[in-house]
Chains A and B, each alone.
Chain A
Amino acid sequence: TKLNFSSALEEERHVRANDRDYNERFSYADNRIKTAKYNVFTFLPINLFEQFQRFANAYFLVLLILQLIPEISSLSWFTTIVPLVLVLAITAVKDATDDYFRHKSDQQVNTRQSQVLIKGKLQNEKWMNVRVGDIIKLENNQFVAADLLLLSSSEPYGLCYIETAELDGETNLKVRQALTVTSDLGDDVAKLADFSGEVICEPPNNKLDKFTGTLCWKDNKYSLDNEKMLLRGCVLRNTEWCFGLVIFAGLQTKLMQNCGRTKFKRTSIDKLMNTLVLWIFGFLICMGIILAIGNTIWEQKVGSDFWEYLQWKELTINAVFSGFLTFWSYIIILNTVVPISLYVSVEVLRLGHSYFINWDRRMYYSRKDTPAEARTTTLNEELGQVEFIFSDKTGTLTQNIMVFNKCSINGKTYGDVYDEFGHKVDITEKTPCVDFSFNPLMDRKFRFHDSSLVEAIKLEEPLVQEFFRLLALCHTIMPEERNEGELVYQAQSPDEGALVTAARNFGFVFRSRTPETITLYEMGQAVTYQLLAILDFNNVRKRMSVIVRNPKGQLKLYSKGADTILFDRLDPSNEELMFTTSEHLNEFAGEGLRTLALAYKDLDEDVFDEWMKKLLFASTALDNREEKLGALYEEIEQGMLLLGATAIEDKLQEGVPETIACLTLANIKIWVLTGDKLETAMNIGYSCNMLRDDMNTVFIISGHTMLEVQQELSKDKFSSGLDMEKTELYSSDSVFEETIIAEYALIINGHSLAHALEADLEQILVDVACLCKTVICCRVTPLQKALVVELIKRHKRAVTLAIGDGANDVSMIKTAHIGVGISGQEGMQAVLASDYSFAQFRYLQRLLLVHGRWSYHRMCNFLCYFFYKNFAFTLVHFWYGFLCGFSAQTVYDQWFITLFNIVYTSLPVLAMGLFDQDVNEQYSLRFPNLYRPGQLNQLFNKRKFFTCTLQGVCTSFILFFIPYGAFMTAVRDDGAHISDQQTFAVTIATSLVIVVSVQIGLDTNYWTAVNHFFIWGSLAVYFAILFAMHSDGIFTIFPNQFPFIGTARNSLNQKIVWLVILLTTVVCIMPMVAVRFIKADLYPTQTDKVRLLQQATRKQGPQEQNLRRVRRTSSRRSAYAFAHQQGYGELITSGKNMKVPTSSTSTYPLSSPTRGLTGTSSASICKCFRHQKH
């Protein structure tokens, strides 16, 4: 055999079962997952290497080296190395902590136990020790450890059920079936150990729904497809055990291949910051050049005369060389304009903000004990700039719980509750529920509030009975019953589950089924129906029917389906009832309920026999079987009698409409991207208030070819009264845009989206979509979700946020600037890929409007102040250059330069960046338009940067020249001179510290105790350190390092020094105060206004917050959408998914063949459907 040893070039995978030696030749990946970056030994070198890849850190390293050259060293080495080491250490500690947690989670996954067949014995092994070619045994509810080829299972025909929520987000069970040859192996360990089949298949890829390969065993070849694969990440359900052959392991599994490499997300502020730092470097070099030229000129004109006193040989060579050296000296001195602590401070702030998110009780969901979690700590301020939200539907907007809410039976509606005056009562948690205690088999979680329906049942009204009988008979659900009355339904679609559960509680209990019979428990009586045919559901028919023979021998056809479809097939005598029901359907739909019409028909024995023969003939037909069957179904589903309609509520998550309304007010556009059908998606759109009746037009794009899609899109464009030019003309005018988008909605389905996302059409798509207030994309694949997000990222340059709960949302969560995962669900895939996670969609409002807005506000203020501070601090040297012959003499004590950024001024600004609140949380939520500045990037941008650096430059100018003027002629009050450099240094340094402290005081809107402590503490620390460094003791130990001995004492006891400090502070601060005051007075921002309001109300005392209630105003007719798959009818009638009758544990009198149940499988179902039935 020709072997391919290189896994990188793997074209075909050969796996031989139970033959590790053979498989090891290919060096396939083992099952160990490694997401951690470092280990104990590699941490230091790799981490340092990574850190020095950062521009700023590398720059400071270069500076450090420059400082070691004596000719240009204008500052001691410690001024750079102290902050640098501190910064590196803080970052390293953070990286180490992150990596530690990654190690822990890797460890947790890698040490999960699985049973592996080794040397003919089942042994417990850790996941990481599982190899390709091993046969492993899975038990119910276990996670699949690797991509497996299903060999055999406990269920008949080698079937097994899996839940794929982690992979594609779908919570319904899927069936996998093993090859007959392998399923015969059963759980015979000896046979399995002898199994030596070889699988030849495709190399690892990320296609979840495709697999091709062949199994060669005993000289036979069997083809393999995806239906025989169990993928890593799935959970085995309802299956006692199964055996599988590992095909792909570890990083080569489809799940891991789909995870892709996590992109390192950067915020826009980060990017801006990098640009600004580059600009600052440019500025630095310019200043260096100016000063170097100055030095050259000075050396020629003045300095050369001075050489007698300074006999340095290199300077006597020429002035240009001196200028060159001076350039480097000044680069060193002025390096503090690029704040070394900037990056680390920003990181600290973000970390703090993340903790605030984790700690927020209002984002904690007590029912699932799930707090919000900031999983990425580097994106917080971007939460304050979101413009687009891409939301998944199922599990995010909706709970994926279907509740039988209302019904209409024979022209009468049930489900509403009326008070004694005949007014409709809003149903709340407290509304009393109907008592179903007459029924021992009821489902306790089922709640219904209208008691008239139970009364009707008790009165044995025939049509009401027929209604529930239909619901109990016409479905494809599998029941499971462990103990008497402990009945659990395994439903294909949650809708069906809800309907059958309703019937169950109203006394028509679906109890068991065989391929030929259905056993109901009708009002306590066991009744067995003969199941003659299932006329299965498909997308075209939009209905399903069953034909049964009841114990009295009558033949009945029961049908349920979309109202529009069923109404066409009713008996003409039903017309009046049809109209009444139709009205009721409209009413239900108006409340956002999913409706379904029910009809029945009595069948003639002869007609049925005739039809049955045709059906048998058609079902054996070789060609056009589907169409022939369809025609036959159509034939018999005619002239039915209408029974009524059901209304199911697709329960929204709590507070979804309110949240959406609030976020819309904050000018955030919300797009729904869902894998669901158009009808379902629209339905949810209406119930979330994203679609409304008063919208001008709802564009629906559902073309199947490129051309169709283009036409539809362009048509919409023109009908919205806008052509391309206008869009471009007004695209910058947000007011105009808003007035336009208020009116339209766009709904596009997956097929059309595929075309619309192509290069030619994407621009039109973006234009049209952005004109619409609401955009819903349905039937989209996970990849398309990501593409849509990518499209907006590319075309709109807006910050995007994706929120979802399932593995199908992972791609979009990773693509968007910010990914949010809904936690507390079964699948964790979305959460693991997300940047933030919490349990409820409604927390998004708080995340963005409170945390995001605060973070953005704080970060921007922080950056403005930081740049201001450093410019004010550093540029003093520039001015001094003109007086000291451009000799790169520092103004300050070197220790002051070392400590200024990291000790004297770091904590107040950090406290501001952590705790500041311009507007408190209630007002942030009450005035969503406060979110606007973030979206418009108003608080920190290039202009702001210029303003604050200019302010810094001015401050440095004042800081230098006022003391200069005063000190030119100053002497002490005892006549000794104090116009020496050291006193000058102390005076300027003290002024600087006071000025920047006052400035941070001005910038702080929210003075907590911490702020007070840090601001006053920093000043105190400054003076303490100043006196300590100028003290006798430290000088006598290190005379050369602390030459400022006594300066603090001798200068700060002078009145003139304080007069200078006072004047400098006043001159630096007052203009800022005036400008801010006048700005707030003449051009108040929204924030100013709300602040004022907040302060006014605080004086009056707290007021009750008026909550905006969102009314649903929709009256749109919604169509029922079957959410289940086709083909289950066949599975039931063939009996494939039912066990051979075994000794039933049931003591239940009517011992029709029921499914043999075990403890584990029953428990599994309970767990499986926990989230569907509360």
Chain B
Amino acid sequence: MGKKQAGTGPLSRRPDNSAFKQQRLPAWSPSLTPQTVLPTFYILSLVCLLLGIWLLITVEYTYELKVDYTDAGTCEQCFNLRKHAIDSSTPCKCTVSFHVPKTFPRVSFQHDVVRLSARCLPQGDVFFYYGLRNFHQNLRRYMDSRDDAQMVGRKNNLKAPSSYCAPFDYDANGKPIAPCGAVANSMFNDSLTVMYNPTDGSKIQVPLYRKGIAWYTDKNVKFRNPPTNNTFSLQQAFEGTTRPLYWQRPVYELDDTDSNNNGFINDDLIVWMREAAFPNFKKLYGVLNRAQGPFTEGLPAGNYTLSINYNFPVEPFRGRKELVISMVTWFGGQNYFLPIAYLVTSGLILVTAVVLTTVFVKVGKKGKNMEE
């Protein structure tokens, strides 16, 4: 395999004297010296400590409230009614009362330090999530059971859903289902209304933005309706398809308040279609509209009633449903894991650093046995 060069001189086969070929490329050879390793450990420990503290303070001043309404209040009857997913035709309504002990978001800060960090907090936004427990959106075949080409509004896929959707691709009559697949079919379809009950006995419905809750890319790229125009309505575009098995309404009538929120670009559908990674999850339902009334500062403390159009059955898989009211921080929702993890890591690194230093100073050879 030696390359014989064409030249015929006396040294024609002499290899080139290049740094690359002679393996003498200039190089940096770092090694783990005490001068680099020990400071790194201390600095990392400090960084983690500071981050951990910052995160912890942030989390401490956020607030989250969970209302499990699976079988609470008057919902027990509905809960029993929905033992089978297929029994979706009978409507069932119920209410659950709950109490908000503190105003969302908390506005008064005791410490200046905290006030500084609180600048990063979103001012008064309150988020309403629906939470599901023990619902496995992450099963492989469940996750695969969708047709993104259909949801992007492709005509062909609308009429001929992907085989991944089976058995939710065609109904008993052979009509294609839109949107097809198990994910869409099992869409969360409870509707939640929260009423504020101030002490004066009145009832004020908590106003929610129900739109703009999905990712921008999902709403504008990933999910598109089949092409429509002034003469050609959305309903006509979905002509020849049928609604998913468990749905009460066809996809083009999902939102009866806003015709632009129908079809595949319905926000609730989009949120649902972004499958959760774990069996316990929460998905955004709405954002508090702080335009008026007592809600300009956030969600006031006091009594509330949650009224539910109870459609989504959880009893079969021993699941739970809940309403989660939360505020967000600069790094997301209320999340104790990260600050604690950072603090633990910081501690461990510090311990290691101390051990390393001790070993290096006391026990280690400090390079004394390094000579030949």
Mark A residues whose CB is within 8 Å of B: 70, 74, 98, 101, 302-303, 305-306, 308-313, 329, 354, 356, 358-361, 364, 366, 369-371, 373-375, 377, 854, 883-885, 887-890, 915, 917, 921, 927, 962, 964-984, 1005-1011, 1032, 1035-1036, 1039-1040, 1043, 1045-1046, 1049-1050, 1054-1056, 1059-1060, 1063, 1066-1067, 1070-1071, 1073-1074, 1076-1078, 1080-1082, 1084, 1088-1089, 1091-1093, 1095
Contact = CB atoms under 8 A, between A and B. Distances in A.
A1032 B352 CA distance: 46
Contacts of B137: 981
A1056 B332 contact: yes
B332 A884 contact: no
Interface residues of B, number: 114
Contacts of A979: 276-278, 281-282
B331 A889 contact: no
Contacts of B162: 1040
A1108 to B, nearest CB: 14
A360 B15 contact: yes
Contacts of A302: 134, 136, 317
Q: Which 9 A-B pairs have the closest CB atoms?
A: A1046-B217, A359-B21, A971-B333, A889-B140, A305-B317, A965-B337, A984-B277, A1008-B25, A373-B2
Contact of B277 (A329, A915, A981): A981
A1038 B21 CA distance: 45
Interface in B282-336: 282-284, 287, 313, 316-318, 326, 328-336
Interface stretch (B27-35, B70-78, B98-106, B230-238): B27-35
A1089 B372 contact: yes
A978 B40 CA distance: 33
B175 interface: no
B252 interface: no
A1007 B27 contact: yes
Contacts of B222: 1035, 1043, 1045-1046
8 contacts: A306-B316, A308-B317, A887-B141, A889-B139, A975-B127, A977-B276, A1039-B151, A1077-B32
B145 to A, nearest CB: 7
B174 interface: no
A975 B352 contact: no
B32 A364 contact: no
A977 B139 contact: no
Contacts of B37: 1073, 1077
Interface of B: 1-3, 10-17, 21-23, 25-32, 34, 37, 40-41, 44, 48, 51, 55, 84-86, 122, 125, 127, 129, 134, 136-143, 145, 147-149, 151-152, 154, 162-163, 167-168, 182, 185-186, 213-218, 221-222, 271, 274-284, 287, 313, 316-318, 326, 328-338, 341-342, 345, 349, 352, 356, 359-360, 363-367, 369-372
A1006 B217 contact: no
Residue from B86, B278, B364 having most chain A Cβ neighbours under 10 A: B278
Contacts of A1006: 27-29
A859 to B, nearest CB: 16
Given A302-B317, A1066-B345, A1039 B277 contact: no
Nearest to B363: A1082
Nearest to B37: A1077
B278 A359 contact: no
Contacts of B352: 1070-1071, 1074
A370 B138 contact: no
B278 A883 contact: yes
Contacts, number: 319
Contacts of B30: 1005, 1007
Point out which of A329, A885, A889, A1081 has the most chain B C-beta atoms below 10 A from its C-beta. Answer: A1081
A921 B142 contact: no
A1084 B365 contact: yes
A976 B62 CA distance: 16
Nearest to A326: B140
Contacts of A1007: 27-30
Contact of A981 (B151, B275, B372): B275
Given A977-B281, A981-B275, A1035-B222, A1063 B32 contact: no
Nearest to B364: A1081
A1049 B217 CA distance: 9
Given A358-B3, A977-B284, A1074-B356, A1036 B337 contact: no
A976 B356 contact: no
B194 to A, nearest CB: 16
A1008 B19 CA distance: 11
B136 A970 contact: no
Contacts of B22: 359-361
Given A308-B85, A1080-B32, A1040 B316 contact: no
A559 B17 CA distance: 55
B367 A309 contact: no
Contacts of B139: 303, 306, 310, 884-885, 887, 889
Given A1036-B221, A1050-B215, A1066-B345, A968 B328 contact: no
Given A377-B1, A973-B331, A1008-B26, 5 more contacts: A917-B23, A977-B271, A1063-B345, A1073-B32, A1084-B369
